[in-house]
Amino acid sequence: MLATTLVAELTQRLAPQAGEGRGFSFPPINTILRWQDLFPNFNKISIIAILAVLIGSGIFLVASLRDHRKAPKGTRNLAEIIVEFIERNIIMETMGRGGLAWTPFLLTLFLFIYLLNVPGIIPFLQMPATARMGVPAFLALVVWLVFNATGIKHQGLFGYFKGILFPPGVPKALYILVTPIEVISTLIVRPFSLAVRLFANMLAGHLLLVIFALLTEALIQAETMRFFLIPIGVLPFALLMFITAFEVLVAFLQAYIFTILASVYIGSAAHPEH
């Protein structure tokens, strides 16, 4: 009897009641991923992107105003840690010392993506801008343009595309198979995988947070069986806290993965022999 009553209560909470508009239902996906436009084509994602630009620029602007003769502290110390991380853990690992000239670009890419990811766990914002496909797609397109332009600059237009179409060291008989694979992999799969990886991971985390938050609310606000449902609501709430903490790590990892792959692509375009 208790199990039957519990199932009935959960069914009532988790499905809208016909004709009454009551009960609990998962909100339309567009309400989760988008605020109402403040004015045409300007919404939550636009706000987060602008804040990311202002915060990222502000960190290094404030750091540049500090006296460089004194030991770094505060904002300047934070800026130096970020720069050192990009140089040691991304550029030196993928391109070597010759790639240090790419520090400004990769630093901007990493910091911007991280600041777009973090709002997913910030109250009121509660939305990673990278959970909208347009943002990762644009960033992937920028990387695609940069590494192709780098390859053309270092190898020449003919040499770059010859290296893609006819990779050295491959028997000529295999070019009929290797050539289309290399073209698709380099010119299509790379930017597509960059965009989808970032988008899918951030969207999945955002939806999990929404699901467990709504489930917690449904159980705690149950009108019947409160003595039984409220304690059960502790479980999805605990999972909500765990996923929130985990999303802090995911926000960093996705920015790191996107940036290090961009570094690998740029390095391989500039120095194909490596």
Banded model confidence at residue 175, pLDDT cuts 50, 70, 90: confident
Domain limits of the chain?
43-270
Q: What is the mean pLDDT of residues 243-257?
A: 93
CB of 198 within 8 A of CB of 260?
A: no
pLDDT for position 272:
72
pLDDT at residue 31 above 70? no
CA dihedral 177, 178, 179, 181 (to 10 degrees): 90
pLDDT at residue 27 above 50? yes
At 196, list the tokens. Answer: 């989808």
pLDDT for position 216:
79
**Which pairs with CB-CB distance under 8 Å and at least 24 residues apart come from 7-13?**
9/222, 9/224, 9/225, 9/229, 13/218, 13/219, 13/222
CA 268 to chain centre: 23
CA distance linking residue 88 with residue 270, whole number of Å:
19
What's the pLDDT tens digit per position in 105-134? 999 999 999 999 999 888 777 889 998 898
What's the pLDDT tens digit per position in 185-228? 988 999 999 999 999 999 998 888 888 887 777 777 766 655 66
At 100, list the tokens. Answer: 């240090």
Residue 238's contacts (CB-CB under 8 Å, 6 or more residues apart) are: none
Q: What is the mean pLDDT of residues 171-179?
A: 87
CA dihedral 155, 156, 160, 165 (to 10 degrees): -130
pLDDT at residue 263 above 50? yes
pTM: 0.82
Banded model confidence at residue 20, pLDDT cuts 50, 70, 90: very low
| Strand ranges, E, within the chain | none
What's the pLDDT tens digit per position in 42-96? 888 888 999 999 999 999 998 888 666 666 677 888 999 999 999 999 999 999 8
82 vs 231: which has the higher pLDDT = 82
CB of 257 within 8 A of CB of 196?
A: no
CA distance linking residue 133 with residue 70, whole number of Å:
44
pLDDT for position 24:
54
CB of 215 within 8 A of CB of 222?
A: no
